[in-house]
Structure formats: C-alpha cells, structure tokens
Chains A and B, each alone.
Chain A
Amino acid sequence: QLQLQESGAGLVRPSQTLSLTCAVSGGSISGGTYSWGWIRQPPGQGLQWIGYLYHSGHTYYNAPLRSRVTISADGSSNRVSLNLTSVTAADTALYFCARMAPMGSFDAWGQGALVTVSS
C-alpha cells in the first residue's frame, strides 16, 4: 500500500527557507506515469497547490510562488523535496505531498506537516 510521509522543520524564521521532504513507501517515485505534488492549506482555509514534478521530469509551479519554490526528487531514497525561499507569515500552513495520477487527480496524500513562520 502506498504511503507518503512529510517531514521537516516545523518552525521557520521569516526570510529563511522552508524545506520539507516526502518519503514514499510501497511504490517507486521513478518511472511510470505518476507525478508528485505539493499542496498546502493555511489554517482555517482551503487547499492551494504549490507545484508538482511531472513524470517526464519537468516541474510546474503555481504562478504566485514560482520565483520561490523548487520541487525535486531523489530516486535512490524514494523521496520528493520542497524548498520555499524567503518565507513570510503568509506561508504558515499545513503542507501535504501527494501522488498525482495521469488525469490530474491527487489519489494518495501524506498526513501533512505543519509549518509555522515566525520569529
């Protein structure tokens, strides 16, 4: 059974870089037709997609975040990473990694990692 688990610092200082890792078990992140994405949810708000690593190797990012975000993968450790630079309080959110199916649905999610941006 596919499982995703996010990990990383729960508290990040303003202007610093948010770094999260998604460990995938029960399936390989390499090959096939699945892609891997990150979605976040600010407290009390809805879902906002951050970006995804398409199975072709290309990355796509949400326009408002594009200049600050990087998504990458390490096939040897079966992990997907998220880096978000120059964070502000507006980046405080629950961050989810998710598997993206070929038609664009997110069919498996991690439990989420809460990241608070505060000095």
Chain B
Amino acid sequence: SYVLTQPPSVSVAPGQTARIPCGGNNIGSKSVNWYQQKPGQAPVLVVYDDSDRPSGIPDRFSGSNSGNTATLTISSVEAGDEADYYCQVWDAYNDHDFGPGTQVSVL
C-alpha cells in the first residue's frame, strides 16, 4: 500500500490561514482528495483531484500538490472549520489510501 503522512494536529487563530500537509513518496504524480469530518458526521469531500472544489464548498478551501507533499489550505479560518481532515489517493494498484488525519483546532 501507499503510505500517507499527516500531522496529528494543527492549530490556527480565527481569520488566519491553516495549511495541512499530506506527505507521500512522489505524491505530486497522484491525484489527491481531501475530506472534512466533524464529530458524529460522515466525511465530506472538500477538494478533489488536487485542487478542485465540489459545488457548495467555499473557495476558502484550496489544494495544491507537488513533489512529496500535497497541501490543503483553509483561508480566513472560521470556528466552523474545526474538524478532522483526511487526505486520500487512489493508487496505481486500484487501492485507496487514507492519511491518518489531522485535527484542526481554531484557537
């Protein structure tokens, strides 16, 4: 399987920018998806194919992917952005791989 790494937690003040890295060997060659999961809820896709947003997702959420790191960026962070965030790839062996998740706390 393909190993993805994420920091366990990221803290950010309201109105500031949160950057959540997702590491993987040559991840820049893969398509990365990001999910937001709030307590007691199902995950929600917030970024797909590295940097595209599903309809209904605010443009405060953006993604990038290069080299060995993909990054989810949340601009102008709000209290409602507190959640766990997971990166995910669909690898060349038709397997799915999820990162361990990053808990975003809004100070």
Cα–Cα, bound, A54→B96 (Å)? 13
In the bound complex, residues from chain B placing their C-beta under 8 Å from that of A47 are 35, 37, 43, 86, 88, 98, 101
CA distance A39 to B33 in the complex (A): 15
B89 contacts across to A, CB distance below 8 A: 104
Is A49 a contact of B98 with CB atoms below 8 Å? yes
Contact of A46 among B41, B95, B100 (CB under 8 A): B100
Smallest Cβ distance from B49 to chain A, in angstroms? 5
Q: Is A36 an interface residue (CB 8 A)?
A: no
Residues of A with C-beta under 8 A to B79: none
Q: Are B35 and A62 in contact (CB under 8 A)?
A: no
State the Cβ distance, B37 to closest chain A Cβ, in Å: 8
**Interchain nearest-CB distance for B46 vs A (Å):** 10
Chain A-chain B contacts (Cβ-Cβ < 8 Å), number: 62
* Complex contacts, A60 vs chain B, CB 8 Å: 94-95
Interface string of A19-42 (1 = CB under 8 A from B): 000000000000000000101000
9 A-B pairs closest in CB distance? A104-B90, A49-B96, A105-B48, A105-B33, A109-B42, A47-B98, A46-B101, A60-B94, A107-B45
Interface on B for A, CB 8 Å cutoff?
A: 1, 31, 33, 35, 37, 41-45, 48-49, 54, 86, 88-90, 94-101
A-B contact pairs, 15 of them (CB 8 A): A39-B96, A39-B98, A46-B101, A47-B43, A47-B86, A47-B98, A54-B94, A101-B48, A104-B31, A104-B88, A104-B89, A105-B88, A107-B45, A107-B54, A111-B42
Known: A104-B89, A105-B48, A106-B43. 11 other contacts (CB 8 A): A39-B96, A47-B35, A47-B43, A63-B1, A96-B43, A103-B48, A106-B33, A107-B48, A107-B54, A111-B42, A112-B42
